[in-house]
Chains A and B, each alone.
Chain A
């Protein structure tokens, strides 16, 4: 089998599974068989991706680029679709399929109590998601990437709204769709501009100087929406209405990372626009800090993790802005592992206590030893404690941002590193240690289908950080690991953050009044300032504009049309009187008319 065959297998087996589940109602309604088909498809996809990865490691600079003409234009083509396999796309497809397979197996246990038909629907969406994401990952140009981009947006909508009977879930899915579609407008416009100036949708295009900033800004707008950067991050916390494994796969590990993947892929374009890169660095840094601040006051475990995802994506965007795609991409990979692990472990805990609230948990370390252990591993990796995956990639980002001379974003990232450790410590000390609640008293460990994927991801979260050199080999960058000033400072802040959270929530040495410094943040988080801003912009801006357009349509355009109709009716009412029905009148009229025409003709 050629690499293309493996790629096609990884791409189309999940699609076939999704199609089978969608098109054969008895299969879908049966639930369990559909789930198994989906899991097998995911594992096939994973296997094919792993084969490609092994081949790629043997020949790191191999690039397989196979396209077919999509929109022919004479002998040339306006657009192409196909497969582009290089180190970046292969490693990303491995990340996607590993997490997807883990999440699907986890879902077998987590979604056990769903009705069979809902279970079939759930797994159908999941298989379809793998297809869409792979389509995005292995795309040879930005146009196919855009197709995959929109499709993952659709699956995100469907999966957030999985419990569509719940009004909050239905609203959250629509909100996610609206916000990301608004941002995707930027991608579409950017692609149109790109095609206008370069005649193709390649990410290697050389942009004219006057267009570079415009095009990259438009592309970046889409990234801001998809990767939940400030101020379009508002959909991500609401997206937690979906089932927890969905949050792990789509809204933590893979789909939201598609934005960063786009930045990595289109780095040759962004490298031509220093202004856009500067904006990326600042916005990424600000998002990292802002979301980390909000994460410190959430009481819902999934919302803590959601804001944490925003924050970590901010790190990646900032790294890309600092001109270091490898740092951002490495953090994407490690983040996919430990954030999927955290979400799935949180799912396991939620499954045990039937609540998302931190207050309902507590003392789970004594009831769910394995889940607690992997959750702590994930937290340490996220916090960037030395030795865990997050440490290596975060160190790389901090060094890159510092070296690029972006001092303010770098400071924001350092503070965010402190806060990251603080809020994860808070979750750990409240949910895993701490006193029992009524629900957690009776909690017990989840089954093997849930703990198995957790173990696998925990191994990834522990180990993936040490594969930096292989990673650099694949993505064609250089990787010199050294703990410099930034890395030490970041790790120091992380330890300090953990210590502070232990003092407040673990040992309770600091009195409750110590919490009062969080009160303004809590008010900020509850007020939903950004949401309110968009609401205002929508009401006062979009709706007012629509009203004005509606007024013009109703009273000006319709007015003209109605006036024409009214005039016709009135003149008809008058002219009808000339129809006397008398033959002789008509004869006179004909003769008179003939005479007039004859004279008119003669006089010319």
Chain B
């Protein structure tokens, strides 16, 4: 596999993530889209690490995965609280934090 092919893959994943983030109103779907974008970036890290020699990028990829897990935990906890409070998880109605 070439760098170009891998970069095309990650670009595609990233764009799908952006599209999902912009088009959904469901909080869980938005979180999933975010995950796609993060994974695209992680694959980028591994790719560049592989083709430039050295393991720094791969180590950072593992860090990123661990951080993503933590982020998802917090995100889902917020979603659960939002559901308990509003009985729905559409983000449009949750605008109580405006000025």
User: Which chain A residues have a beta carbon within 8 Å of chain B's beta carbons?
Assistant: 576-577, 579-584, 587-588, 591
- Residue of B18, B91, B96, B99 near A584 (CB, 8 A) is B91
Q: Taking CB as reference atom, which chain B residue is nearest A576?
A: B99
Since A582-B98, A583-B94, A584-B91 are in contact, a sample of 6 more A-B pairs with Cβ atoms closer than 8 Å, ordered by chain A residue number, is A576-B99, A579-B98, A581-B96, A581-B98, A581-B99, A587-B30
B11 to chain A, nearest CB (A): 12
Total residues of chain B contacting the partner, CB 8 A? 13
A582 near B95: Cβ-Cβ < 8 Å: yes
A581 to chain B, nearest CB (A): 3
Dominant secondary structure of chain A at its interface with chain B: helix
A591 near B18: Cβ-Cβ < 8 Å: yes
Q: Which residues of chain A are within 8 angstroms of B18 by Cβ–Cβ distance?
A: 591
B97 near A584: Cβ-Cβ < 8 Å: no
A584 near B92: Cβ-Cβ < 8 Å: yes
B92 to chain A, nearest CB (A): 7
Q: Which residues of chain A are within 8 angstroms of B97 by Cβ–Cβ distance?
A: 579, 581
Could you tell me the distance between the alpha carbons of A591 and B91 in the complex, rounded to whole angstroms? 17
Q: Which residues of chain A are within 8 angstroms of B92 by Cβ–Cβ distance?
A: 582-584
Q: Which residues of chain B are within 8 angstroms of A591 by Cβ–Cβ distance?
A: 18, 21-22
Could you tell me the distance between the alpha carbons of A587 and B97 in the complex, rounded to whole angstroms? 15
Q: Which residues of chain A are within 8 angstroms of B95 by Cβ–Cβ distance?
A: 580-583
Within 8 A of A (CB), among B1-52: 18, 21-22, 25, 30
A316 to chain B, nearest CB (A): 80
Q: Which residues of chain A are within 8 angstroms of B91 by Cβ–Cβ distance?
A: 582-584
Q: Which residues of chain A are within 8 angstroms of B98 by Cβ–Cβ distance?
A: 579-582
Looking at B25, B96, B97, which has the most chain A CB atoms within 10 Å of its CB?
B97
A588 near B99: Cβ-Cβ < 8 Å: no
Which 5 A-B residue pairs are closest in the complex by CB-CB distance?
A581-B98, A581-B95, A583-B91, A576-B99, A581-B97
Q: Taking CB as reference atom, which chain B residue is nearest A595?
A: B18
B98 to chain A, nearest CB (A): 3
Could you tell me the distance between the alpha carbons of A455 and B95 in the complex, rounded to whole angstroms? 100
Q: Taking CB as reference atom, which chain A residue is nearest B91?
A: A583
Q: Taking CB as reference atom, which chain A residue is nearest B21?
A: A587
Could you tell me the distance between the alpha carbons of A577 and B99 in the complex, rounded to whole angstroms? 7
Q: Taking CB as reference atom, which chain B residue is nearest A582?
A: B95
A178 to chain B, nearest CB (A): 58
| Interface CB pairs A-B, < 8 A, 16 | A579-B98, A581-B95, A581-B96, A581-B97, A581-B99, A582-B91, A582-B95, A583-B30, A583-B91, A583-B92, A584-B22, A584-B25, A587-B22, A587-B30, A591-B18, A591-B22
Q: Which residues of chain A are within 8 angstroms of B94 by Cβ–Cβ distance?
A: 581, 583
Looking at B25, B91, B99, which has the most chain A CB atoms within 10 Å of its CB?
B99
Q: Which residues of chain A are within 8 angstroms of B25 by Cβ–Cβ distance?
A: 584
B58 to chain A, nearest CB (A): 25
B71 to chain A, nearest CB (A): 15
B96 near A588: Cβ-Cβ < 8 Å: no
Could you tell me the distance between the alpha carbons of A584 and B97 in the complex, rounded to whole angstroms? 13
Could you tell me the distance between the alpha carbons of A582 and B30 in the complex, rounded to whole angstroms? 14
B26 to chain A, nearest CB (A): 11
B20 to chain A, nearest CB (A): 11
Q: Taking CB as reference atom, which chain A residue is nearest B34?
A: A587
A152 to chain B, nearest CB (A): 67
A595 to chain B, nearest CB (A): 10
Q: Which residues of chain A are within 8 angstroms of B30 by Cβ–Cβ distance?
A: 583, 587
Could you tell me the distance between the alpha carbons of A580 and B25 in the complex, rounded to whole angstroms? 16
Within 8 A of A (CB), among B53-86: none
Q: Which residues of chain A are within 8 angstroms of B99 by Cβ–Cβ distance?
A: 576-577, 579, 581
Q: Taking CB as reference atom, which chain B residue is nearest A577?
A: B99
